[in-house]
Structures are given as structure tokens and as C-alpha cells.
Amino acid sequence: MSDDFDPFADAPRSRPSRRENEQEPAPQSFDPWADLPTRASRRRHGLELPTDAPGLGGMWQGDDASLTLDRGAGQGSEPSPAPGGRILVVCTGNVCRSPYIHLRLAAELDCLGIEVTSAGTGALAGWPVDPGSVALLDAAGIDSTAFRARQLTVDMVEDADLVLTATRAHRRSVVQEAPSGLRKTFALVDFADLVADLQPNEVEGASGDTPVSKLVAAANARRHLVHARPDDADADIVDPFKMGPETFEQMEREARSAVETVAHRLVTIAMLWQRGLR
């Protein structure tokens, strides 16, 4: 288990671990966020690649390039109107995991006014989606031909209402460089765990001026109700870069259920929103 990060450790745990016969970890007396240095936001600065992120290592750490695509592809350099809120998905290279999550989530949320984009902490800027992820998206009837990878910036984090990362290491990297993202940045699987059992009254009582920001507020209010997965590996989505079809299929299995959970909650909230919930 990671020694420096427990995504829900800032609130008491009210129910036992999901794993049977597993002992409760000893409570930590220190602030779980104390290891995250507070830095002033740096405009248009490429984020650092987390040293413990799987896959790409430091090969593209110096690449700050960012590609602008048509706004219809969800990758424009300037924010487009998004009355439902903005979601940013982050992995390392922005060619395998985050495009898959991004495009699957966008397809689930189509016509709800929610903007979904993605970027990489060490992006292969300008690259299309990796063929392994293309095959998975094609099988789901989702077109990825317009997509191009882009480098993550602090501005992207600040513009988003919700940031979903492929791993906890990516989350740490995002928050270290953009402290304003602390309460809205989650590993995808952790966020799905937080909102899986969300009740309508919890949504009604949450603050937020969009369905996405309202879901984030409701998720943060549930930290004391949900026991975090004890190991980072349990919350991380495998990196399939330069791997075979089996690893891409594993990535899909690990990501798909979480994507569907988050999408379902957002669809429900958006419907309530359209009926006058504010």
C-alpha cells in the first residue's frame, strides 16, 4: 500500500474493508495531504510525469506541446460552452487509457451539455489513439479518428469541474502542480466507489452550479461513508501501452464499470437538473 496517499483518509471510516478477512489499516495521525506541496498555479505549464506512474517513464517528460482540435472533438484549446459542466480525464501519454475513458464517457453523456476532454501528464502530443484502444472503441461503435493527444496544463485542471485520473499516481501529480484541483480530482475507480450508492437526497443537498460540480460536492460529502481501497493497485487502471490485446482488454474491464457508474449518476443528476433541481 502506498505510504503517502489514502484518498479518503481525511474522514473517519464507518464500515469495514470490502475485502474479507482483511485487518483495518492502522489510523494515520498526519494530514494525508501534507505531502502535497502547495505551489502557485503556473499558466500553460506542462505537468510533471509522476515517477511512480506505470508505463511511459520519463521519455516524454520534456514535451510541452499541445494540439488544438475541432471543438466538436472535445479537444479545443479554449473552453466551449458546457452548461452541464466539464470533465477532464488524465493518464500519462493520452493515447491509451484516457482517450478510451474520455470517449466512452462522452458517448454515455451525449446531449447532456457535459463537455469531456482528456490530456496526458507526459503526452505523446499530436498522436492519435493507440490501435489497441481504437479496437475497443470501434467495438463499442465510438469514432476516435479526430482525436489527438495533448499535454496536460494547469489551466485545463482549473477549467474542469471534475478531473478523473487513470491511477492514484496521476492524481498526486495533478494536485501537486494544481492545488486548486485538490477537491475535484480523483482516480476514476475511487470516484466511482464514492458515488456508487449515492442517494437522491444527497444530491439535493449538495452545492454546485452544474450537474458535474454537484456530483463532485456530493462525492466529497460521502468520504466518511466509503472505505477506500487499501492498495493503489486496486484503484489503478493498467497501462496497456506497447502491450498486447490481453492487456488492453484488462484495461477495458477495469475502466468500463467505473465509467458506467459515473455516467449513470451524471445522467440521473442531469435529468433532475432539467426538472428544476439547483
70-106 tens-digit pLDDT = 333 344 445 456 789 999 999 999 999 999 999 999 9
H or E, element range at 85: strand 85-91
Residues 88, 110: Cα–Cα separation, whole Å:
15
Residues 80, 77: Cα–Cα separation, whole Å:
9
CA distances in angstroms from 1 to 21, 56, 58, 64, 172, listed in the order given: 17, 22, 23, 32, 15
The C-alpha cell 489497441 sits at 132
For the chain, give the number of residues. Answer: 278
Residues 257, 241: Cα–Cα separation, whole Å:
21
Q: What was the pLDDT predicted at 58? A: 28
The list of the chain residues with pLDDT below 50 reads 1-5, 9-77, 79
What DSSP character marks residue 181?
Answer: G
Tell me the pTM: 0.74
From the centroid of its chain, how far is CA 243?
A: 22
What is the per-residue DSSP string for 1-52?
--SS--TTTTS---S--SSTT-PPPPPP-S-TTTTS------TT-BPPPPTT
In this structure, are residues 165 and 128 in contact, taking their beta carbons and an 8 Å threshold?
no
In this structure, are residues 159 and 79 in contact, taking their beta carbons and an 8 Å threshold?
yes
What is the per-residue DSSP string for 88-142?
EEEESSSSSHHHHHHHHHHHHTTTTTEEEEEEETT--TT----HHHHHHHHHTT-
Which residues does residue 163 pair with via DSSP β-bridges, in sequence order? 88, 185
Question: By C-alpha distance, which of 162, 158, 91 is closest to 121?
Answer: 91
C-alpha cell at 8: 479518503
AA letter at 153 = T
Q: What was the pLDDT predicted at 222? A: 93
Q: What was the pLDDT predicted at 53? A: 37
Using alpha carbons only, give the angle 243, 167, 20 rounded to the nearest 5 degrees: 100
Q: What was the pLDDT predicted at 277? A: 56
Contacts of 166 (CB under 8 A, 6+ apart): 89, 90, 91, 92, 97, 98, 101, 187, 188, 236, 237, 239, 255
Q: What was the pLDDT predicted at 201? A: 86
Tens digits of residue pLDDT in 207-227: 989 999 999 999 999 999 999
Q: Is 150 exposed, middle or buried (0-12, 13-18, 19+ CB in 10 A)?
A: buried
